[in-house]
Amino acid sequence: MTIISIKEYFLARCDEIISLSHRGDPWTFLCGSAMIDYLTNMTTGNSTRVRYINFIEDYFAQVNILYKEFTYQSGDKDLPTQMYVVLRCGIVHSFSLIPNNLGISYGGRIRSILLAHEKNGHSHFETYIKDGMDSVIFTAEGFAMDIKNVVLSVFKKATTDQNLETQILAYVQSYPPILGRFS
């Protein structure tokens, strides 16, 4: 694979995730969260908690500064940590949005991120403080577009950062992403 073919592959997967975002179900978030974990691995070599959080702060904040600067009603400004605990450890690795005890020990909070769809009247990065919650709403549509823009940003950076390009090529060679070889 070349860096161009890898970029094309990820953009095609992003378009698939975007197409899912209009259905009104949670699969956009599961697929998108799995892709974020892979992108973290691909750009850093592995997805530790610190590297995942740094990936969100470095790449997602370029797409929307709220990924780094969002402030909860409580004053907490830790959305990258919540994404790690709720999206990566939760939805991807535990098929749940509720942090387990380890996730809570890492700073995760129950219902810190709520998932919604624009067709139901919600906005991406909407604050939700009803029912005793202190949450941010992610919409499937906004989340999917942000992931695509992050992919574009990663590969744009790889055109001028030889170390990043080498890291991407080596990781994809060792751990190829999902391919439809038998379809």
Ordered by start, the domain boundaries in the chain are 3-15+28-174
- Other Cβ atoms less than 10 A from the Cβ of 91: the count is 20
For every one of its 183 residues, what pLDDT tens digit does the chain have, with 9 covering 90 and above? 899 999 999 999 999 999 999 999 999 999 999 999 999 999 999 889 999 999 999 999 999 999 999 999 999 999 999 999 999 999 999 999 999 999 999 999 999 999 999 999 999 999 999 999 999 999 999 999 999 999 999 999 999 999 999 999 999 999 999 876 554
d(Cα 41, Cα 167) in Å, to the nearest integer? 10
Q: Which amino acid is at 4?
A: I
- Alpha-carbon distance values, 170 to 26, 29, 46, 107, 134 (Å): 32, 27, 12, 32, 41
